[in-house]
Structure 1
Amino acid sequence: MFAPRVAAPLRTVGRMQTAAIARTAFARTRVMAPVGTRILSTSQPNKEEVKVAPLVQQRKNRPLSPHLTIYQPQLTWYLSMFHRATGGAVAFGFYAGAITYAVGPMFGMGFDAATVVSTIATVPVAAKVAGKFIVALPFTFHSFNGLRHLLWDTTRALTLKGVYSTGYAVIGLSTVSAIGLALI
């Protein structure tokens, strides 16, 4: 917008006239406002703005696109969400346990190896197996799904059939591994 108005006179006139023409061109295009300020118009909205106003209001009420409610849930969906959740759970459990083990005795919590072993020894066997399964499942799933993602980084199993078959393999391997770790 600015270039056609100023560029042609700059080529044809002298230096003094060029500066005067450039100043008037700047004034006409309203670029003399300080940087970061918006030039506000006090004029009435035109017919086009009035016609589009209801559409603008409708757009404000629409859900973000793409939105989860418009898709049919799929295996890849659930595996992605579970991968993120298990990653957070494993990290939280590791850091909470390590920090409690490190600073617990300083605050008189009695969270040392002897206390933990004696407390777990009093728990029934079924509760121990269930507890170990609950701890092992997020770890095994996150580990196997991480290997699945590393496989994808090599551009293998990226077809729809490959994604689903590796997804089912991750579910199976993580469940069997968690049961095996729980029974140890």
Structure 2
Amino acid sequence: MAPVGTRILSTSQVNQKEVTVAPLIEQRKNRPLAPHLTIYQPQLTWYMSAFHRFTGGAVAVGFYAGAIAYAVGPLVGLGFDTATITSTLATVPVAAKVAGKFIVAFPFTFHSFNGVRHLLWDTARGLTLKGVYATGYTVLGLSTVSAVALSLI
């Protein structure tokens, strides 16, 4: 027996969830996270906070690296004693010494002065917007001046 007719069209099931959700997923790929920092204007307080954390970490890492090198250096054959350091630094040009001292001094002075600023905040002083900016610029100025003074010693 021969077929009576053939179908020209065929049907298939469409997953309705995929049809409605797929465009939303594509849109989400192009959206920033909310709230995203790019929608806000950067403030002095942001930079001071980030730099305070960075300098704290840098000072701590430098301290521990120096202490470990000083303690372990002679055991592994590194000349990390006072005489070797002094003779090595004696060959460095003066401009490089001053620049190196500034690079070391500025994070330390900034972190110290900004720490005092935070201690003042703990006593509820300088917490107005004007006070926060005034103490912020004071910390930057004192840090720069003291780092320059320390680098010229």
Short-chain TM bin: 0.7 to 0.9
Out of 75, 78, 84, the residue aligned to residue 115 of structure 1 is 84
More RCO (CA 8 Å, sep 6+)? 2
Distance 1:127 1:165 in 2: 33
User: Are residue 138 (structure 1) and residue 103 (structure 2) matched?
Assistant: no
User: Among residues 133, 137, 152, which one is paired with 1:168 in the alignment?
Assistant: 137
Output the TM-score relative to the length of structure 1.
0.68
- Matching of residue 63 in structure 1 with residue 32 in structure 2: yes
CA shift at 1:69, angstroms? 0.9
**TM-score normalised by structure 2 residue count:** 0.81
Q: SS of the counterpart of 2:98? A: helix
1:58 CA displacement? 4.7
> What is the CA distance between 1:65 and its match in structure 2?
2.5
Structure 2 residue 51 is the aligned partner of structure 1 residue 82: yes
Identity of aligned residues (%): 79
Radius of gyration: which is bigger?
A: 1
- What is the CA–CA distance in structure 2 between the aligned matches of 1:56 and 1:159, rounded to whole Å? 43
Aligned residue pair count: 139
SS at match of 1:104: helix
Q: Distance in 2 between matches of 1:52 and 1:149?
A: 49
RMSD: 2.1
- The letter for the 2-side match of 1:176 is V
Which amino acid letter does the alignment assign opposite residue 97 of structure 2? K
1:126 corresponds to which residue? 95
